[in-house]
Structure 1
Amino acid sequence: MLGHFGFSYVGCIYLLMLFIPNILWVKYKPTGYDAVVSNENKVLLAFERVGQVLVTCVSVIFNDYNLKPFSLWSLWLIVSFILMIIYEISWIRYFNSKHSLKDFYGSFLGIPVPGASLPVMAFLLLGIYGRVIWLIIAITILGIGHIGIHLQYLKECKTGKLW
């Protein structure tokens, strides 16, 4: 449950799936984004930043996430990967939209704040698949901050008539 040190190519693939759309997003931020993020909760931001560093490191330094012979336990990885694919599709939807706050924070396939919740769920399941408690702890810390901040932004968009 603690993990075996070694490079994880699966963790690396997940991080690439996470980072590439976020890097592209910098060029295509939603209209009105700066007004929404001005009141960011500092506690949630601290959780998010610490979680980002921990998840990034823990995802690649334990080889327990790499492919193993198929078993029922492999379903954790399969569902996790499906969530990452849905995350990528949600980005495609955003990049093909008008880049509004509603496009960015709106639900996708009934999943609220998909840009935050989908990767958190995917990495949680990856941690369960690899049986690495450190990733489960790290993604929980990140999830508290990241999902919390996105829900805060969503609320501000809706109440501030920015929707």
Structure 2
Amino acid sequence: MEMGHFGFSWVGFIFLVMLMVPNLFWAKKKPAGYSSADENRVLRILERIGEVLVTFCLLTFTDLNLHGWSVDIWWLITAFILMILYEIWWIRYFRSPGRLEDFYGSLLGIPVPGATLPVIAAFFLGLYSRLFWLQGAALILGIGHIGIHLQHRRQLTQKEEGHAQQR
């Protein structure tokens, strides 16, 4: 098993741009009532570690760059389709009233797509490049990031159920 080849990855850079640009806009249009104060501490730590590791892997392994046609190219294509769906989800959110329901709503049946889509895409990039490091980093990120989003969605559902019972 190879450890990976160091160097700059254009594919990883494009992937990170697709990931980060909407998040920069989100910083100015967070959902009304959004708070990270009650997030599970362990999940938050895993999320941060995963973010650093995924970013490092995406930028520093040339294995992610295009390397000819093979059956593995389908992992790359699937990863970018997931990222396009991620961009569509962001567009839908930015065109919405910007409520928590809009932010944590599903897309095409995919739960918490703002967390799920990029994590799965990163894992698929790891499959394409055969980078165990990226696959592991995506798993760590997924546990933290998806876990936090599910926690927020669960809190939102409980809050909505509480309001419904009061009526």
Q: How high is the TM-score relative to the length of structure 2?
A: 0.93
Question: After superposition, what is the alpha-carbon deviation per residue over 1:22-65, rounded to whole angstroms, capped at 9, x for unaligned?
Answer: 0100111001112xx32110000000011111111111100001
Cα distance in 2 for residues equivalent to 1:105 and 1:16: 22
Alignment pair present for 1:40 and 2:30: no
Cα distance in 2 for residues equivalent to 1:69 and 1:51: 29
Cα distance in 2 for residues equivalent to 1:53 and 1:132: 16
* Contact 1:2-1:131 at 8 Å conserved across structures: no
Offset at 1:161?
2.1
Larger Rg: 2
Identity of aligned residues (%): 56
How many residues get paired? 161
Alignment pair present for 1:76 and 2:69: no
Cα distance in 1 for residues equivalent to 2:37 and 2:47: 16
Cα distance in 2 for residues equivalent to 1:69 and 1:50: 32
* Contact 2:72-2:127 at 8 Å conserved across structures: no
Provide the residue aligned with 2:15 in structure 1.
14
Offset at 1:160?
1.3
Cα distance in 1 for residues equivalent to 2:52 and 2:70: 31
Q: Deviation above 3 Å: which 4+ runs of structure 1?
A: none
Cα distance in 1 for residues equivalent to 2:131 and 2:55: 14
Offset at 1:12?
0.4
Alignment pair present for 1:58 and 2:32: no
1:10-159 aligned within 5 A: 10-34=11-35, 37-159=36-158
Look up the equivalent residue of 1:78 and give its one-letter code. Answer: I
- If asked which structure has higher relative contact order (CA below 8 Å, sep 6+), I would say 1
Q: List alignment gaps of at least 5 residues for structure 2.
A: none
- The alignment's C-alpha RMSD in Å is 1.3
Q: How high is the TM-score relative to the length of structure 1?
A: 0.96
Cα distance in 2 for residues equivalent to 1:56 and 1:4: 16
Offset at 1:104?
0.3
* Contact 2:116-2:146 at 8 Å conserved across structures: yes
